[in-house]
Amino acid sequence: MTAIFTSRPDVNLPVAPLLKPVTFAGLPLASRFVMAPMTRFHSPGGVPAPEVAGYYRRRAEHGIGLIVTEGVWVGHPTAGHEDTVPRMTAGAAETSWRRVVDEVHAAGGRIAAQLWHLGSLREPVDGLEAWTPSGVREPGRPASHAMTLADIDELLESYAEAARVAARAGFDAVEIHAAHGYLLDEFLWPFTNRRTDAFGGSPQRRAALPAAVVRAVRAQFPADRPVIVRFSQFKERRFDAQIAETPAELDAILTVFAEAGASALHASQRRFWQPAFPGSGLTLAGWAKRLTGLPTITVGSVGLTRDFLRPGGPESVSGLVERVAAGEFDLVALGRILLRNPAWVTHAAAGQLDAIVDYRKSHEDTYH
């Protein structure tokens, strides 16, 4: 794949090392930049609207090497409740996703589908309680249904079917959402996983259900296309939560993912530059790569203001590039800054800081 910016005269800009082509888990990309998944509510009835294809294409046209879609619900009744969040199901949704994939490919980009189940965050509509590992009632949340072994089998088939649909739609990769306190992450988190069977207890056993999802997806998705797992310590409702208190516990979890067939890991932090554990400067993505040897993506408050593009401390572009150059992680995901700035990479590559709009919360209500 040809890099978009190789002929630019301003290759000495700090961001330049991130603009070169790279191969990630066997997938050739135009740059090291990833678009992080962000729910956009433009899929009535679970079917991506026509404008969704253009939305993702614009980011690919401006140098994002890998698009990761917003979270897409697997086709199970308990996966989610909002009517405008997309699903990965056969029929109209699959056809619409094919249009999205074709538009991204036409722009020279690659695209991964993020497969998602809300878990306890699903509202109890349609007479269905949310599915959770142990039925733990979290503060401010309604009662939930503790999953049985039969439920787990049913869930695995839903993920397998979603992988089949994603493959037919032409996605270059899939990402399994096992972060931020949603269902798969609830199995990883000791607070919500109180099970005493093979899916609870030690870090390895808490990882068993997400790993079974990895195996189910891997078995149905083409072997030459990556299966990525997104994970985190923090939860949307508990920033101080941890699935692993030590690198050894993280190793136990991530090794189970790797053995199940994960091709790469997407380590979500609130701030990408912060150390994951005391006593080491390594980030969560850095630990993931060191422990498993798998390629990794970092994400967390990258580029939210123009000041990021001015050389500075560890939270700046220079600190980010230093970590990439050292091999700490491989790809860099941009999230909220892309909501209002689809051409962020183009402007950053040209040093056009004045063309970039600093992120504001109101941008989440826009669709450019």
What tokens appear for 337 in the block?
């800054």
Strand partners, 72: 115
How many angstroms from the chain centroid is the CA of residue 190? 22
Within 8 A by CB and 6+ apart from 279, the residues are none
Distance CA 18, CA 333 (A): 11
End-to-end CA distance of the chain: 26
359 assigned to active site = no
Positive or negative CA dihedral for 125, 128, 132, 134? positive
Distance CA 90, CA 105 (A): 21
Spatial CA neighbour of 1 closest among 28, 40, 33, 31: 28
Beta strands in 96-150 (DSSP E): 110-116, 131-132, 145-146
- Burial of residue 19 (CB within 10 Å: 0-12, 13-18, 19+) is buried
Distance CA 239, CA 179 (A): 12
Q: How many CA atoms lie within 13 A of 65 on its CB side?
A: 24
Distance CA 344, CA 47 (A): 28
Distance CA 169, CA 101 (A): 7
Strand partners, 33: 332
Annotated catalytic residue: which of 56, 182, 359, 367?
Answer: 182
- Burial of residue 361 (CB within 10 Å: 0-12, 13-18, 19+) is exposed
> Which of the residues are catalytic?
182
